[in-house]
Structure formats: structure tokens, C-alpha cells
A and B are shown apart, each in its own frame.
Chain A
Amino acid sequence: MTNEVWHLDGELAGRYADGRVTSVLATSVEQHLLRCETCRRLMQPSVRTDRLDHIWDEIVERVEAPGTSLLERLLHWCGVDEATARLVAVTPSLRGAWLTGTTVVLLLAFLAAQTAPQAMSAFLLLAPVLPAAGVALSFGPASDPAHEIVASTPHSAVHLLAVRTAVVVSSSFVPAALASPFLPGSAWAAMAWLAPALAMTVGTLALSTRLAPHVAASGLTILWASVVVQGFVRHHDPFFAATPSVQLASVAALVVSAAVLLVQRRDLAEVLRRVS
């Protein structure tokens, strides 16, 4: 067989549109439609114009709604190209719910810390977990509405991931950083969440080259929680996370994760394309 000479006629087009063809023939028709504009046009009589007009009106309404465009414009203003800004703006963890959750949890930890120093454990436990969770949520097929588009462009996938990560991480870091000066203990102790937070975020990305992002983030969360809880239970120290050993371990983990990420950055693009 040489070039494709077969096309639909009006009769077959009508039967396909009405669902009166076997699924095997339907598959043939569908494969052909993807490549043939002439035959696609044969489908036009099968859908009523007023139905199409109605759908179009709804699309216009949604396309013109301002919605997330504030973030889009802010990113664009910072030098991010428009298409990337749009995709970042649809990142699930950036939606109001996530941001509210982050702020509320941190606020609670901060209020608790004001009244009882023991509650510092809660703050130091949560502050590093949130950005890592946000990063895990912000990509991967389970949560990403733009996933199939991202996945089809591996090169820009890494670029997009970098921008998204920066936005997600700063959206969690900013409230935590703002809370820090008001926390009990020395300024250094109040900033003790920073190194573990960076280690967990970069660690989640590094582990995501091998594991599903949510598995990576959950594993690191359990690890971090066990460190903080141990410190509180065994040493009765709510500032255990601020001790030099924990801080040094965090910095070491950060360095190792960053190195792994640098070496495996190609695999990270694969993560975005991973099939379940």
C-alpha cells in the first residue's frame, strides 16, 4: 500500500457521528481525522450551531476572567515569559487553598510559640515540611492540570519546574520568615527551620528522580518529624532542631541533594513524563 487515498464520505461521517459504527472502524476514522482536515470538516453538520455558540460564550467568559492574572502579571514583570507564567499560575499548590493552609498552620505555630515555648517544636516541625509538600504537589500527573502539555515538551519542563519550585518555595518561605523574628529563643534558633526546609525541598526534588514526588516528600517528612519529636521526647528540648548537629546534618543533606539533582537533572525531566 502506498500513500493514503482513503477518505470518509458524508454517509460514513454521519454514521460515525451517530455512533453507528463498530469500535474498530471508529478507531480507523479517529486515526484518520487527526491527520485530515477535509474529513474533520465533514463532522461540522453533526453538531448544532447553537450548541457550539453556547459553549463558545462560556469559553469567552472564562478566558476573559481576570482570576489568577495578578500572579501571571507579577511573574511576567519579573522576566518570566508569558506562557510559563500562565502555566505557573495554574500550579495546584498555588491555588488559594494551599496558600491559606500554609499561612494558617504557620500562624497557629507562631501563636502557640508565643504562649508556650514547647510549641516551638510544632513550628520547627511544620515550617520545613510545607515547602517540600508544596513542591511535591506542584508537579506530577496526579495533581497537574497542565501535565500533558508540560510532558510533551521535555526541555521547557525543567525550566517550568524551576520557576514553579521558586514560586512554591517562596510562597511557603515568606510566611515562615515573617514569623521567625517574633518567635521565642535567640534569633538563630528562630531561623533554625531554614536549613532543614532547604534540605527537604531540594531533597524532594532529588528523590523525585527515582520516586514519585509525593512519596519522596512523605518519606522526608516522616524523617524530619521523627527528628523533631525525638528531640522533644528524649531531650525535652523544643529547640532540638536548632542544635548544631541537626543543623549540620541538614546542610550536609542539602549539599548531597543539590549534587544529586545537578547530576540527575535529565531524569527530573523524565519525572514529568513518567507514566503511572
Chain B
Amino acid sequence: MLDMDESSTDGELLAAVADGSAVALEVLYRRHASWLVVRLARRCADPAVVDEVIQDTFVSVWKSAGRYTGQGDVAAWVWAIAIHRLVDAFRRRPPAAYPLDEFAPQLTTLESAEDRVLLGIEHGDLAGALGRLSPELRTVVQATVLDGLTTREAARLLGLPAGTVKTRMMRARRALRKELA
């Protein structure tokens, strides 16, 4: 087996993990754990739950590395596992409330320019359209469209009834369609 180190690509590391290399798993962990912790923390206020979800995620990576097809970014694949592990954690222990954050509104003008550069490339003026949605609709779009969760999973993540998620998604879709048409 090849030696796995910092210079290996994510794909090579994942292949080595599939062959049972714990060294490769650690390199992968050191490379990805930080941003996963940060991103999960935006969806879960309890650091203990975040730590648990990171554990579950890398145990899943260990068990299912062989299932990675080589298509798409490894980062996106790992994130898909992480967000589902978070939903699982909320299934075991529902969160108190999902943070509907509207931080630093005075920076909005500056930020919307940045948003357009990023989201504008792939999604038209999605950033602008998202910004004009109400916070309730926006969190639902983020959980379903951007985090790729099903209605039921999004409901669990957001602590809402599935029916509410479905209606809000319908309203959001209508609003976005009008905006992006």
C-alpha cells in the first residue's frame, strides 16, 4: 500500500481508507474536521452534539469509503454524511430551537456584492433572491436545496412539522421562481 500523507489527494485518501488504512482516515480527518465543525456549529448550538456528529461522520466515512464513486468533490460527499448524521442526532435528541440568525445587518450592502460573485456564477441571482426571502422560508431552502435534505429530514433539523416544511418550501419555490424568472 502507498504511504498516505499530506500530499495525497482526498480521492487517494478515501481509496486507502476503503482498504482499511487508519492513517489515511486520520489525514482526511485533520484536513476536513475543522470546517465541518464550523459548518455544523451554524446548525447546532450545542458543541457536544457537534463533536458527536463529527465522530459519527468519520466512523461512517471509515465504513463506507468504498462507496465513494469518485464523482464529485470528496468534501461534498463528507458533508452529505455529516448533515445526515446531524439529523440523526436531532432524531435522538431534538434541539431546543433552530437559530434563525440575522447577524450584522449593517454589513448587508458590502456582503451582497460578495454573495453575487459567489452564487451568481452557478445560480443566477440566487443570493439576492435568497436575501429577499423571509428568514423562515430561507432556512427551509437552505436545508433542502443547499444541504440536500429531504422534507422529513429538514423538518427534523429545523424542529418543525414536515407539513410546515412542505408548505414553506412551496411558498419559497414560488417566490424564487418569480425572482429568478
Give A contacts to B, CB under 8 Å: 1, 4-6, 12, 15-17, 19-35, 37, 40, 43-44, 46-47, 51-52, 54-56, 58-60, 62-64, 81-84, 86-87, 90, 141, 145-150, 152-153, 156, 275-276
CB atoms of B38 and A17 under 8 A apart = yes
CB atoms of A55 and B33 under 8 A apart = yes
CB atoms of A87 and B67 under 8 A apart = yes
Given contacts A4-B121, A26-B42, contact A59 B139 (CB under 8 A): no
User: How many angstroms between the C-alpha atoms of A29 and B42 in the bound complex?
Assistant: 12
Q: Looking at the complex, which one of B25, B63, B76 makes contact with A86 (CB distance below 8 Å)?
A: B63
Give B contacts to A, CB under 8 Å: 18, 20, 22, 25-26, 29-35, 37-39, 41-42, 51, 54-55, 58-60, 62-67, 69, 73, 75-77, 79-81, 84, 88, 101-105, 107-108, 111-112, 114-115, 117-122, 127, 130-131, 135, 138-139, 142, 146, 150-153, 162
Q: Looking at the complex, which one of B59, B117, B142 makes contact with A63 (CB distance below 8 Å)?
A: B59
Given contacts A21-B103, A23-B101, contact A31 B152 (CB under 8 A): no
CB atoms of B146 and A20 under 8 A apart = no
CB atoms of B103 and A19 under 8 A apart = yes
CB distance from B129 to the nearest CB of A (A): 10
User: How many angstroms between the C-alpha atoms of A221 and B66 in the bound complex?
Assistant: 36
Which residues of chain B are near A1, meaning CB under 8 Å? Answer: 117, 120-121
Which residues of chain A are near B153, meaning CB under 8 Å? Answer: 141, 276
Q: How many A-B residue pairs lie within 8 Å, measured between CB atoms? A: 177
Which residues of chain A are near B54, meaning CB under 8 Å? Answer: 55
CB atoms of B59 and A62 under 8 A apart = yes
CB atoms of A23 and B139 under 8 A apart = yes
Which residues of chain B are near A150, meaning CB under 8 Å? Answer: 67
CB distance from B1 to the nearest CB of A (A): 14
Which residues of chain B are near A148, meaning CB under 8 Å? Answer: 80-81, 84
User: How many angstroms between the C-alpha atoms of A26 and B135 in the bound complex?
Assistant: 13
CB atoms of A6 and B117 under 8 A apart = yes
Which residues of chain B are near A153, meaning CB under 8 Å? Answer: 67, 69
Q: What are 19 A-B pairs with beta-carbon distances under 8 A? A: A6-B117, A22-B101, A22-B107, A22-B108, A24-B115, A24-B127, A24-B138, A27-B115, A28-B115, A31-B146, A32-B118, A33-B75, A52-B29, A52-B37, A55-B55, A63-B25, A86-B66, A87-B63, A275-B150
Given contacts A22-B102, A28-B127, A55-B54, contact A34 B79 (CB under 8 A): yes
**Beta-carbon nearest neighbor of A274 in chain B:** B150
Residue of A30, A46, A141, A150 with most partner-chain B CB within 10 A: A30
Q: Looking at the complex, which one of B26, B112, B119 makes contact with A56 (CB distance below 8 Å)?
A: B26
CB atoms of A276 and B51 under 8 A apart = no
